[in-house]
Chain A
Amino acid sequence: MVVKGEPMRPASFEYHRATSLEHALELLSQFGDDGRPIAGGQSLVPMMNFRLARPGHLVDINKLPIAGIEVLGKTLRIGALTRHEAYFGNPLIARHFPAFLDAVHYIGHPTIRRNGSIGGSISHADPTAELPAVAVLHDADIVVRSTAGERRIPATEFFLSAYVTALEPGEMVVAVELPLPPETSTGSFIELGERSGDFATASVGITLEHDGSAVTKAAMVCSGADLFPIRAPEIEDFLAGQPLIDPKAKEAGQLFAESIDPVDDHIASADYRRGLIAQLTQRAITTACTRALGKK
């Protein structure tokens, strides 16, 4: 790669192009802690330029055949190299996962969505990235491989802290699998960032199952309340049984806001995050219920 100008300079590293999944896993196992897969590079390259990440070896996985969105039995399987832009116009996503589709619109800008991959986003684990939140919301499994074999990690157990996941050295995400929801389900995802395309200050996603007039089952995820996306079990319980026409969305938002302890930083105060999350919760619920009514 020819770099014009050298203003941002990573520490030195060795580059390896993996020619097959086995080859990639081989290399990752060989380098252990000192090796990293590189997918779209949209998070890793900036981290390396800032020298916040200093892998000795990069394993380029871009040539591996692990992209694509397909239904396997009762799950939707998304290959790790699926780029964010692939969800737009995908009929499976549009039909089964409205919250997911909402969320993708908030990811960065077109060039970032063209390059960034779900495996990269999940593994990078930015506290307010959309795809980790979507995975947690939909009870996804993160499918992980190493030379020792495959393991499946529930998304709710995958994200441990900001930029910290359950991945072990030598492991690689190969797919994310989402259980297909029943036909009478819907959802919504809403977020707010300082500028369009920014990582969110906070976001809330909702999925609902319903009987045409009331919520029968709900799931809720929130980013910005903690260092990783969290589910809101008490709100999920609160919503079950609420009528679609007036689901007490405002109360749900307030209830949730009282239960969280968000960070205070130079971009947003904890108070603001709490107030914002209450508002986003209210809106996400209202939108999902409106969609449910429209769908019937």
Chain B
Amino acid sequence: MKAEQPRHVGARIQRFEDIRLLSGLARYIDDIRLPNMLHLNFVRADIAHARIVGIDSSALADIGYPTWVFTGEHTAGLSMKAHQDYPEMQYSEQPLLAEGKVRFVGEPVAVVLAEDAYKAEDAAEHVMVEYDSLPVVGTMKQARDASLPPLFDGWTSNVIVQRQMKGGDLEAARTAAAHVIKRTYRTQRQAGVPMECRGVVAHYNPADRLLTVWSSTQMPHLVRTYIAEELNLPESRIRVVAPDVGGGFGIKGQVFGDEVLVAWLAMKTGRPVKWIEDRREHLVASLHARDHEHTLEAYVSADGRLLGLKADITVDNGAYSTFPFTAAGEPGMVGKVLPGPYDLKAYEATFRAVATNKCPIGTYRGVARPSAVFSQERLMDDIALELGMDPFELRLKNIVREFPYKNVLGFTYDEGSYAQSLEQMRGLLAKDIVDATASRASETTRIGVGFACFIEQTAHGTPDFTRRRVPIETGYIAARVEMSPDGEATIDLGLQNHGQGLETTMAQVAADALGILPENIYVRHGDTLTTPYSVGTWGSRGGPLGGGAVHIAATKLADKLRAIAAHLLQVKADQIELANGKASVRGNPGNHIEIRKLARAALRNVDQLPEGMTPGLEAHASLDGPRDGSYSNAVHAAVVEIDVTTGKMKLRRFVVVEDCGTILNPLVVDGQVRGGVVQGIGSAMFEHFIYDAECQPLTTNFADYLMPLAPEIPDIEVHHIETPTPLTPLGAKGLGEGGAIGPAAAIANAVANALGVGVISTPLNTNALWKLSQHIREAV
């Protein structure tokens, strides 16, 4: 079922939204200013684990301006519940404001409201919290130490959840193996860092009993549902608006306690309430990511066939489970995806999330897969080294080549270009491989080439979430397409656009079906009042499922336009073609009528409609993901140059060969891939959220938490292979996250290649590289 004669889909159209975003016309959460508004400042825990002895705000009496203070006593009973219905998962809740105990530095303990943000921040300094400190659980090891007390009453240990997945006969694989290769790999804790921090504004209007909540979120409908359930309000009386959102990257793809809290405060105080997160709060207390340790054991035949893989996975989840993906999501994803693009017949993974006194982790671009692919692809290189095989040969020997392919866990991979992309990458790197080999003679500068081959399950929906029993529950994406009497169209989209180019690509999709120009289609999103219920933008689903829903709805609308045209032109509906603003008779283009006249007929001159046809031009569609989603694939490669005397690394090249099925807009795909790669470079080389032994955060600003900057980023070369999937209406697969998945593995492999050492962890910063180069310096 492909769109007929795609014209706008696939075109290199510049993003419409950029006019607004690049000229200062965008409206972000902090641009929302309401009369009579109160500003909120959090009092946050400055100690990682403690009992709250008392909260004293009496000093505020003398501050000279009005303030309002709320603590966990006021919000008692309101909490974030993020539980997955597994018998082996230990239940916990995070109160909106700490009740009795704090469990990580940055946890909200109280709020102070004042009439401007400066006053609120000054006033917050006057609220004194007395703590009785408790020993911290600071590492994975401590969390798995049964002798240490659990973080929550009623828990038996600090292992939140531990599960297993398996397929095939692992014992037989072990017995048959000529080589057993066992390694432990570590990917560090990160903060996901959108350019715009988070923020919430809420306003309750008693006249129509309407609570309006503006939030810098990727999932406005889910925020609405959670607030309604927690505050016991009818959903019809809550409107959640995500204004322009300055990046989300999955960090804003959660419902946060502060969203519920600000809404509650607006109702409680009867005044609009605003909270704008600052960078320190964002880094310390919003949401962290990664922080994995994987021990992998590969069973390999003498000629390099991967016979079996055993994995033990631990994720340091921090103190609380987050909604809606929960503490079980991250480790579960690793267990699920480790078989990767390889034809593996036996597999067993044990995976767990442990609780520590740190900021909770959650979904960040790539979600667990950057870590999984790091381990998987480092392992492949380690196997190649052990067997003395070329790393391309090893992968090509094991790569899945026939589709659809049912993997060892029962997941079906749709069409892909796994082998082809590897071959193409090998060609692209030929000269660099020669340069790398030549550099082995150098005492100071070593060149390395590394790559990572991976697949990514995208476009997943309800079947996947049902299997995983996650509270997200559902995965369809809905769209409504409406034409106005002038022949222009509006798409009301259940997705939220925060950098994906949806205001352009969705218009391209609808334009092909409707026969009008993309610039005549207005895409509205991010407002529960105007858009159909959906769970938001995350998980590499917007293009394939959102685009699919728009395509189906627009096609329904086009059918009606064709029926009206057929009536007016006195032909059959299947003879009508819609293009260039006209409905024409196939084979007789001279016989046509303008689409805007059809629209006018449908909405105003309804006497022109065929007998019995209802007026109006509006269609709705929703589309869910296929059973196992659709698998995008890519190979990422890095060419690095390392000064072994200083540890300084330069990226000479970063190359991507990717296949996301049908490309809706090449400019958007390139932009998504490049943005993701930059974040992946951050994971590989710079970003590291560090706690000391007392779980005090050390990297609370951009001088200590290092993001990749423009001078560190090479030109990122992107090559495309287009293998449309039969599983989505347009043949598109998801690609929003893929860019971030490969770089850590590719760069680590390049470093291992350059220095001739095993690389087991990231970030590969100068200090780490200097250590890894020690043997070369000593040999001089």
Contact = CB atoms under 8 A, between A and B. Distances in A.
Contact of A196 (B118, B276, B704, B711): B711
A234 B277 CA distance: 51
Interface in B28-84: 28, 30-31
Nearest to B768: A272
Interface stretch (B143-151, B640-648, B744-752): B640-648
A272 B279 contact: no
A266 B693 CA distance: 12
Contact of A195 (B276, B699, B711): B711
A185 interface: no
B686 interface: yes
Given A192-B648, A194-B706, A12 B118 contact: yes
B118 to A, nearest CB: 5
B205 interface: no
Given A6-B30, A9-B117, A192 B766 contact: yes
Nearest to A282: B645
A12 B709 CA distance: 32
B709 A197 contact: yes
A266 B688 CA distance: 10
- The DSSP consensus for interface residues of chain A is loop
Contact of A5 (B30, B121, B703, B766): B30
Contacts of B197: 7
B118 A9 contact: yes
A266 B711 CA distance: 23
Contacts of A194: 686, 706, 765-766
Contacts of B648: 192
A12 B712 CA distance: 37
A72 interface: no
Interface in A1-15: 4-9, 11-12
A68 interface: no
Contacts of B771: 272
Interface string A243-279: 0000000000000000000000011110010011001
B315 to A, nearest CB: 22
Contact of A7 (B279, B645, B708): B279
Interface in B681-718: 686, 688, 690, 698-699, 701, 703-704, 706, 708-709, 711-712
A1 B291 CA distance: 42
Contacts of B646: 192, 276, 279-280
A163 interface: no
A8 B706 contact: no
Nearest to B648: A192
Nearest to A10: B118
A89 to B, nearest CB: 21
Given A266-B698, A272-B770, A272-B771, A5 B765 contact: no
A50 interface: yes
A267 B704 contact: yes
A6 B118 contact: yes
A102 B489 CA distance: 59
A266 B712 contact: no
B284 to A, nearest CB: 13
Contact of A11 (B122, B280, B699, B709): B122
B122 A12 contact: yes
B608 interface: no
Contacts of B28: 5
Contacts of A123: none
A269 B767 contact: yes
B690 A5 contact: no
Interface string B170-198: 00000000000000000000000000010
B88 interface: no
B278 interface: yes
A196 B712 contact: yes
Contacts of A196: 709, 711-712
Interface of A: 4-9, 11-12, 50, 192, 194-199, 201, 266-269, 272, 275-276, 279-280
Given A195-B709, A266-B688, 9 more contacts: A6-B30, A7-B278, A9-B118, A50-B280, A194-B766, A195-B712, A201-B766, A267-B767, A272-B770
- Which 6 pairs, one residue from A and one from B, show the smallest C-beta to C-beta distance? A196-B711, A7-B278, A5-B30, A6-B117, A272-B767, A279-B645
